[in-house]
Amino acid sequence: MRPSAARGAALRASGAAHTVLVAALVGLMLASLPLGAQILLGAGPGAPDPWDWAFMAALWASYAAMAGIALLGPRAGRGSWAWANPMATAAGWFGVLIAASVAIEAVQSSQGIEIVPPEYASDVERLESATLAPIVEELAFRVLLVGAPLAAFCARRAPPARALRVLLHPHAWLGGRGARLAVALVLASAALFGALHTVGDGSWSAGKATQAGVAGAILGWAYYRHGILVAILVHWATNYAVLSVLQSVAAAANVGLGAASSHPAGAAVEVLLVASGAATAAALALGHRHS
């Protein structure tokens, strides 16, 4: 087979695998929305009060609206659904983030560096924290630390309205201008993002810094290239979707949350996530889209 023909076959195969796996992840993300309610309904000590329900209902409505806009709204460009649909784009980067996190945890664990999560007073508190964090952290670490400097860079030569739009989707309004600045800002914000996950009482163990830093870089790049909506959805899926699915597995199997990922159902979800991340990375490497 000629090199060009072989490359074409590889592109088609990787593209098909990527589309199928991303579609499965989109389904998982959407299905996870109501699963969080089971955590509130099944809460033991620290059972939710009306405020908890109202707080979570507002967050659920917000994420449902964002998912609906991403899934049914305007295409983000030409090309296949897996690349042009914002929800599919978020699912692809969600897989990449999880695959990177699993790899980092495996390497660190082999060196005796464990990642220990913070303690929560209840499952309800854990769910609320995981659900609120994507909005707060994306606004702080991506919009404020990456978008605002890029908007200021744009404002030197563009009308204020255009500069403000940079906050929502930097690359769409900057094009190739300021690319080096954007990369520097993404990396700097990612380093801070990783470090702050391990600072203070009730934080993650020090082993989380590397994993969170890489996650911050992926989220920062997703924000720069695809906009704040995609970045929030990637972060939400990483936090809320994973937690709600694992919590559901734990409840069904009558095991602790920590053991849920080792259960066959939890392991199957992890395989799906890692495979999707690998397929997305392979598709990018083979040139399906310069993202």
pLDDT 10s digits, 48-98 = 788 888 999 999 999 999 999 999 987 776 677 888 899 999 999 999 999
- What confidence tens digit (pLDDT) does each residue in 19-41 have? 899 999 999 999 999 888 877 87
- What confidence tens digit (pLDDT) does each residue in 202-230 have? 789 999 999 999 999 999 999 999 999 99
Q: Which of these ranges, 138-147, 192-201, 277-286, has the smallest mean pLDDT?
A: 277-286
Domain ranges for the chain, please list them: 83-115+140-291
Q: Residue 288 — pLDDT band, cuts 50, 70, 90?
A: low
Mean pLDDT computed over every residue of the chain? 89
| The pLDDT of residue 290 | 45
| The pLDDT of residue 115 | 92
pLDDT surpassing 90 at residue 276: yes
Q: Residue 46 — pLDDT band, cuts 50, 70, 90?
A: low
0.75 surpassed by pTM: yes
- Using a 10 angstrom Cβ sphere, with 0-12 exposed, 13-18 middle and 19 or more buried, the burial of residue 16 is middle
Q: Residue 251 — pLDDT band, cuts 50, 70, 90?
A: confident
| The pLDDT of residue 44 | 58
Instruction: Give the percent of the chain with pLDDT over 90.
Output: 61
Check residues 121 and 243 and name the one with the higher pLDDT. Answer: 243
